[in-house]
A and B are shown apart, each in its own frame.
Chain A
Amino acid sequence: MSSTASAPVQATGAAARPMPGTLRLFWRSFAENRGAVLGLSITLVLIVVALLADVVAPHSPIEQFRDNFLTPPVWAQGGTARFLLGTDDVGRDILSRLIFGARLSLLIGIAVVALSLAVGTVLGLLAAFAGGFVDVAIMRMMDIVLVFPSLLLAIVIVAILGPGLFNAMIAVAIVTLPSYTRLTRAAALSELARDYVTATRCAGAGPLRLMFNTVLPNCVAPLIVQATLGFATAILDAAALGFLGLGAQPPTPEWGTMLAGALQFYQRAWWVLAFPGLAILLTVLAFNLFGDGLRDALDPKLRR
């Protein structure tokens, strides 16, 4: 096959040229994966759309056009170019709501991942460095979180804190915490056994310096992958909470909440249901493809 034949040629070619930078090497193996590039492209488009929502969106996401309840999308019978993807039951433009919803979804992803990544990393490092009782206590706590089905635990947390987008984000962050903690702990433990850590310790580095300056940078690769995939999970879980009426509250244009709003009308107005779900699927798919590509590119062991 051509791929096996070209491999040695590529290797000699790379040796002849000056050593490419780590970033270029990474990009080369990342770009080989077409799915990953597709995921990254969709992600970039989403970010641009979210940032420029005020400019791109044809209407306000909450403005109600009282003469246009449940207008079908432009290509269907009865559709108008004024509302490309149609309107919902109170005459709001669906396209504009989706565009502003992109902003919310990315915000949810960033907030949830940042929170659980930060807390999870610190807990994981603590467990790995302190060992003994602290280690056992932290890891048992994570086991307890994992005993609950994630959505059920998120529901219980929201029941305690009260429904709303902010509380839903906290709930999802808590639910996803164990994966970051476990990953950091495992990576840190394998690094701690290495000579360079002993050398740094002998040179008189304090525990904090050892943790964050010496060990953490070498544990980053799996965390980056997990964070990208965690983005997808966060958006999916927040949308599920929104659908159950426990996340963002109407009239917020959050995609999951829009699905819940479509419940009463979807049998006669499919577009009210179809487009928000497609937006969720496309976004989650983009982050999953991107994350898979990152994993393949960052971890040569897992490459096909």
Chain B
Amino acid sequence: MLRYLLRRIGMIVPTFVAVTFLSFMLIRLVPGDPIEVRAGEHGVPPERLAEFRHQFGLDQPLWKQFLDYEAQLLHGDFGTSIVTQDSVLHAFFQLFPATIELSVCAILFAVLVGMPLGVIAAVKRGSGFDYGLMGISVTGASMPIPWWGLMMILIFSVALGWTPVSGRISDAYFIDPVTGFMLIDCWWSDDAGACTSAASHLILPTIVLGTIPLAVVARMTRSAMLEVLSEDYIRTARAKGLGGLRVVVIHALRNALIPVVTVIGLQVGSLLSGAILTETIFSWPGVGHWLIESIQRRDYPVLQGGTLLIATLVMLVNLGVDMTYGFLNPRIRR
């Protein structure tokens, strides 16, 4: 196990270096000289620019600059925003809880709704419900997120007035960000109105971001259940005279969970892609919204540092998922 662990960590190091190299090149490849971008558009005398260049080490050879960049990263310096002068790392960790809150809610929604639907479809295989659900599932997986989000706003916020249009909580409340997770902070503050407001702001974004995972989970649960239900031990369980529900939930679902959990683990990357769009539509103050704004403001250090941080997180999540498998399934360890 230790050998597997070390080898897996050993694999991540070159990947990480390569990712940092890409992010190092990013700032040099975007249109515009980094110093001129940093100094702003107004005329700065060339001597001052040269001074800047020296100050930021940009007159050094490229390999030296890259090593300096690596050293900076290892010291936790992921760059500074040109617009706000705020540290990228600091801004990232301020905004990241909003993205996690939304993503966790979306995954919970997908699992809590998708899994039972998939189980029912598998048990009632070939029925109208099964065909209907599979039709809805492939439609959900084909959904253009921007359109879906705006249509939901149009119907539920504008026409029916049931949910707020955008943001995380009504302006009427101020909640001190203790954890950064709005629901937890509201609960902590014992303000029922704030809790309701935060929850109602979450509903639409959760559904929009959860739609594609929901489609994937429902489909995956159905096919995993179909496979398990045809196994001999299910027949044995039925032959023993166990009730239908008990066989389906206790015997079948538990074994069908493994591929479903794998698929959920693989959704992290696509979930973050969806989060970028969802956050943009709902003005949700998370990391995705921040990155899109950084492009519009040509705040490239933010784009650079933010992308690198997200890639690092995805790598760590993948590592964690792999470790869990290695732990659960001894065959992978070698």
Contacts and interface: CB of A to CB of B under 8 A. Distances in A.
B14 to A, nearest CB: 7
A148 B138 contact: no
A240 B15 contact: no
A274 interface: yes
B31 interface: yes
A30 to B, nearest CB: 16
Interface in A259-304: 259-260, 262-263, 266-267, 270, 273-274, 276-278, 280-281, 284-285, 288-289, 292, 304
A147 B151 contact: no
Contact of B15 (A147, A267, A284): A147
A267 B154 contact: yes
A125 interface: no
Contacts of B291: 152, 155
A302 to B, nearest CB: 9
Contacts of A262: 150
B295 A159 contact: yes
Contacts of A227: none
A44 B18 CA distance: 43
A176 to B, nearest CB: 12
B86 to A, nearest CB: 20
A277 B311 contact: no
Contacts of A263: 150
A257 B268 CA distance: 27
Given A147-B315, A277-B151, A246 B295 contact: yes
Contacts of A232: 142
B323 interface: no
Contacts of A270: 154
B204 interface: no
Interface residues of B, number: 48
A1 B124 CA distance: 13
B26 A160 contact: yes
Nearest to B277: A240
B151 A274 contact: yes
Contact of B151 (A141, A155, A273, A284): A273
Nearest to B314: A147
Contact of A292 (B138, B270, B276): B138
B147 interface: yes
A148 B307 contact: yes
A244 to B, nearest CB: 6
Contact of A144 (B15, B135, B296): B15
21 contacts: A141-B18, A147-B315, A151-B274, A151-B276, A152-B307, A155-B276, A155-B291, A159-B303, A160-B29, A236-B144, A239-B144, A246-B295, A259-B147, A259-B150, A260-B146, A273-B150, A276-B147, A277-B144, A277-B148, A281-B139, A281-B144
Interface of A: 1, 3, 35, 140-141, 143-144, 146-152, 155-156, 159-160, 162, 232, 236, 239-240, 243-246, 256, 259-260, 262-263, 266-267, 270, 273-274, 276-278, 280-281, 284-285, 288-289, 292, 304
